[in-house]
Structure 1
Amino acid sequence: MSWDTLFSIANLYALICWVALAFLPRWPALLAAILYAGVGLLCLTYAVSLIGFMTGMLDAGGGAGGGDFSSIEGVRTLFASDAGITIGWVHYLAFDLFVGLWIARDADAKGFNRIIQVPVLFFTLMAGPLGLLIWLVIREKRAQAQGRWS
């Protein structure tokens, strides 16, 4: 499978999970599926791809390959290939979906309407830390009123 194909499949897969999270009823089975089949599969894809890329078992696909995490030049080298870009993107998809799942569960527990949740989830999908920051600000008053910080 090419890195371009993996990139496209991961994008579509994550988008399906996001749509389910935002618009379907939040049954425990659905939330578990998003966690394990959604986030978990993205994490597995990331791990296998990263290990294969870093060990040279998988072709870099249009770049020099190699690189490391110890310097900006090393990271630039990692992202200079189709493999590095795809692996990095799957990393973002997995973590953003995990954060979105946490936001949705937290919002439900605190009684926030989906009308509030969906834009926050959208910002989390599109710009992970921005969506998380928005959620942390929105939830603060209700979290304090409930007497819990989690």
Structure 2
Amino acid sequence: MTERLFDLTFYLAVPFWALMIFVPFWSWTRRIIGSPYIVVPPLVVWLVQLLPEFGSWAAEMVSPDLDGVRAAVSTAVGTSAVWAHLIAFDLFIGRWMFFDSRTRGIHPLVMAPVLVLTILLSPLGLGVYLLLRLVPGIGRRTPAVDQQAVSVH
């Protein structure tokens, strides 16, 4: 069961990433990605994994030390739970980057590789995006892009 949930977790997030990368201007993309609840499916996997061991897991997270955290995440359940946590938070970060880039007028063709990088290595993808925001002239604000970004919020 743990291995199946581990495998399932990424596939629960794939449709949302696909919308942001492949059809960023589709009206349904804005509607679907506009909900912060898109991260719930991987979080449900996280909860299902940890619920039977929640007491010991929570105790370790409240008062963490390196050996204790290592022991908690070195089990199949711990690794699968951490994976679900990462997938959910990577998706949340990607969602923020998607809307922030739309507001700034950064073209989706520029954002697509940044989002892919975020899927693979989210700290690096986020760092690249934060640097990209500093590049003068990278985003061109247009009324259409601004209107699409504002209509979601």
TM-score category, normalised to shorter length = 0.7 to 0.9
- For structure 2, the 5+ residue unaligned runs are 141-153
1 CA distance for matches of 2:44 and 2:136?
35
| Equivalent position of 2:8 in the other structure | 9
Cα deviation, residue 73, structure 1: 0.6
Cα deviation, residue 82, structure 1: 0.9
Paired-residue identity, %: 25
Letter in 1 for 2:75: S
Count of aligned pairs: 134
- For structure 1, the 5+ residue unaligned runs are 57-64
Q: Deviations over 1:51-100 (max 9, x none)?
A: 332237xxxxxxxx898231111111111211000000000000000000
User: Greater helix percent: which structure?
Assistant: 2
Give me the TM-score of the superposition, normalised by structure 1.
Answer: 0.77
| Equivalent position of 1:132 in the other structure | 126
Task: Return the match for 1:31 from 30, 33, 46.
Answer: 33
| Equivalent position of 2:47 in the other structure | 47
Letter in 2 for 1:68: E
Letter in 1 for 2:122: G
Letter in 2 for 1:15: V
The answer as to whether partners of 1:67 and 1:75 remain within 8 angstroms in 2 is no
1 CA distance for matches of 2:4 and 2:135?
44
The answer as to whether partners of 1:78 and 1:84 remain within 8 angstroms in 2 is yes
Letter in 2 for 1:130: L
| Alignment RMSD | 2.5
1 CA distance for matches of 2:136 and 2:51?
42
Name the SS of the counterpart of 1:47 in structure 2: helix
Range 6-15 or range 129-138, more displaced: 6-15
Mark the CA change 1:91 to 1:26 in structure 2 (over 3 Å): closer, same or farther. farther
